[in-house]
Structure 1
């Protein structure tokens, strides 16, 4: 039911389930535990792991919690009626966030991932108009999104959470190009940056299967966007973690990018 990159989505669901059980939780995902119960035993319980894997699990968990909260706030704060979750995985924002009336959320991911999610959440009701869009983001995908009802004439909030590292540089460039072509003025795009954890994870025994899925992304995604007509803002992870009361040690390049297409230059005035 889940394989390859799809399995990593189950790991993120575990992170969100554990955070939701804390009294001081930064968000509440009441659906995350259901994914783990549907596929038990894929990941060991955190209290049964030791050594480098225990450190890595704790580090990924802290990072995953922080990015979940940041992107929750980003999507609701954007105030846009079109939302596109690229490589949505087992994200349940369509079900758990308090969306304004009229919001349409498009979830783009591989067919198997979406089928598994829909089977687990069959009895749950989304809090917006949710549309699943089966597509492979490594190839052409904009046609599928448009066919699902996405309007390129209206601004949209795009999210590429936990995605870029699984793509090669040319695939990231293609993804960004497609987003740009579909982004009306007022649109926004967000994703996380920084590879410290990935670098250290690559050296931990037992991570070979996951490491082989990483394609490296693009060296400077924010710079690529800036060079292709986007206005880019960077939010350092360390500073943001302090603002939500969950301090996190992070390198200077670790954080969150929020970008928007630059408005077209004004032409000469009419005589």
Structure 2
């Protein structure tokens, strides 16, 4: 099997395994699996390794340099969603959910409903692996197989989403794959569906990081047909310009100090935005 080739199950075994842009979700799962196996881990994802084993780790070897960032990013977003739940958000929407397992591994308040949206083939693979592990969600969970280039708001509304209720939105590992106009359109759409008090958490890659520290990862993604199409050097300013009040946008040094990771990077570029940000919808 070549470096970027995923194994395909024989006829009748189930859905095809992720390929192309969907294969990046396996790379992220590999990072979560590695962190979950550390003694002093930032979180525990009991299903991440199963996703990687179903495909083969060599398919995403080129994303290993991304693992440290994945660990910190995952914990940051876990904390963001936990904070939103504490503030009363009982709807959670995960766009481009990939192999996210937060519906299963986080402690959710009673009455929470999580909506997961992503490509049909990727979600079919995900559901098969979770079923094999007999995974049971810790909240009400709705899976919506939909291409985000299509009318995903209609699918969300048809599934019972209530735009009048505060919602916690998670956009993890998506925005860099859209161009700037696509990012603006997505955030505007989310804004129209967000009641006051809604939360939004996102990540983006800044231009300097793409050129230097993550250059190898960027090349790997190009090979997978999953090119980063945009960078964002001021995520807080971007969110504010779209009607969101920024609540947390740590620098590289701030993130390293918070989670005890990335000291070397913090010494090199501590004052630069980390690319992670959380915001609340203005009333």
Normalised by the length of structure 2, the TM-score is: 0.82
Q: Deviation digits for residues 171-203 of structure 1, max 9, x if unmatched? A: 111111110011001101011234244323446
- For residues 230 and 44 of structure 1, the distance between their equivalents in structure 2, rounded to whole angstroms, comes to 35
Is 2:250 aligned against 1:235?
yes
- For residues 207 and 6 of structure 1, the distance between their equivalents in structure 2, rounded to whole angstroms, comes to 11
Alpha-carbon offset, residue 262 of structure 1? 1.6
- Structure 1 partner of 2:20: 4
Say if 1:203 and 1:42 are closer, same or farther in 2 by CA, change over 3 A: closer
Q: Deviation digits for residues 122-169 of structure 1, max 9, x if unmatched? A: 121111111111222234311111111111010000011111001111
Q: How does 1:108-257 map to 2 (within 5 A)?
A: 108-122=117-131, 123-195=134-206, 196-200=208-212, 201-202=214-215, 208-210=222-224, 213-216=227-230, 220-233=234-247, 234-248=249-263, 249-250=265-266, 251=269, 252-257=272-277
- Structure 2 partner of 1:258: 278
Match of 1:67 among 67, 73, 85: 73
Count of paired positions = 253
Is 2:105 aligned against 1:90?
no
- For residues 117 and 29 of structure 2, the distance between their equivalents in structure 1, rounded to whole angstroms, comes to 17
Gaps of 5+ in 2: 1-16
- For residues 258 and 146 of structure 1, the distance between their equivalents in structure 2, rounded to whole angstroms, comes to 24
Say if 1:134 and 1:217 are closer, same or farther in 2 by CA, change over 3 A: farther
Alpha-carbon offset, residue 218 of structure 1? 5.7
RMSD over aligned CA atoms reads 2.1
Alpha-carbon offset, residue 7 of structure 1? 0.2
Alpha-carbon offset, residue 241 of structure 1? 2.1
Contact 1:172-1:217 within 8 A present in 2 as well: no
- 2:250 alignment partner, SS class: strand
Farther off after superposition, 149-158 or 230-239: 230-239
Gaps of 5+ in 1: 46-52, 264-271
Q: Return the structure number with greater helix share.
A: 2
Farther off after superposition, 34-43 or 166-175: 34-43
Alpha-carbon offset, residue 219 of structure 1? 6.2
Contact 1:138-1:167 within 8 A present in 2 as well: no
